[in-house]
Each structure stands twice: as structure tokens, then as C-alpha cells.
């Protein structure tokens, strides 16, 4: 068997990914479907870690409730805003890689890049 016909091995899973991040990594690193450069793998790893953070933030809200007590009275849990920001970041990272979100991801629709960056987009 020649080297060109040998099956490609998927890149190793990054350390300390939780289930949500591993699910994205495994779905995105099938060597028959994807061929990633090193810089793209770094972006994919960050997307996986972002997906893990979203799950952790959602768990904090589920545990503590939408409203929390503070010295100024009740207020919205800060994890709600952070979760929204992480979802935006994940959507942008996935768009940069040109891959769709997983079915269980609830992400905003991306219309692509705007302004100066439009001409340099690889999509």
C-alpha cells in the first residue's frame, strides 16, 4: 500500500475537551470528509472549547435560575449575556471554517463578513 492510498488518521483530540467540544471535534475531523491545515485546527479547537463554555454557562443558568440576588436586588444572571456572546463567537468560528453548526447548536444565522473583510473572505 502506498502512502497516497493509506488511510489518513484524524488529528488527535485536544486535551480537556468536554462532551460538547468532543462532539464537534469528532464530527469535524473525519479524514475522508475534511482536510485541515494547522491554523484551521487551532480555530476548530477554539470552536470546540467555545461550545464547551456555552454548555457550562447554560448549566449555571439552569442551576441558579435566570434571576440572581445581588447587593442591589435581583438581576439577570450574568451567564445569560456571556452565553449569547459565546454563541456569536462560535457562529463566527464555524463560518470561518466553512462548516455548519451541529444540529443541537442554537446559533444566530451568519450573513457573512461585512466591510473591509468581505474581499478577503475565503468562502
Q: What is the pLDDT of residues 51-100, one digit of tens each?
A: 999 999 999 999 999 999 989 999 999 999 999 999 999 999 999 999 98
> What is the reported pLDDT for 28?
94
**pTM for this predicted structure:** 0.80
Helix axes 38-64, 78-97, angle to 10 degrees: 160
pLDDT > 90? residue 116 = no
Rounded CA-CA distance 77/57 in Å is 10
Rounded CA-CA distance 66/51 in Å is 20
Amino acid at each position: 500500500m502506498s502512502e497516497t492510498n493509506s488511510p489518513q488518521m484524524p488529528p488527535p483530540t485536544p486535551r480537556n475537551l468536554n462532551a460538547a467540544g468532543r462532539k464537534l471535534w469528532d464530527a469535524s475531523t473525519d479524514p475522508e470528509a475534511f482536510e485541515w491545515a494547522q491554523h484551521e485546527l487551532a480555530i476548530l479547537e477554539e470552536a470546540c472549547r467555545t461550545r464547551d463554555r456555552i454548555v457550562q454557562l447554560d448549566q449555571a443558568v439552569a442551576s441558579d435560575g435566570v434571576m440572581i440576588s445581588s447587593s442591589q436586588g435581583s438581576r439577570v444572571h450574568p451567564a445569560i449575556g456571556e452565553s449569547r456572546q459565546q454563541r456569536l463567537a462560535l457562529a463566527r468560528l464555524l463560518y470561518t471554517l466553512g462548516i455548519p453548526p451541529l444540529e443541537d447548536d442554537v446559533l444566530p444565522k451568519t450573513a457573512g463578513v461585512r466591510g473591509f473583510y468581505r474581499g478577503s473572505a475565503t468562502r
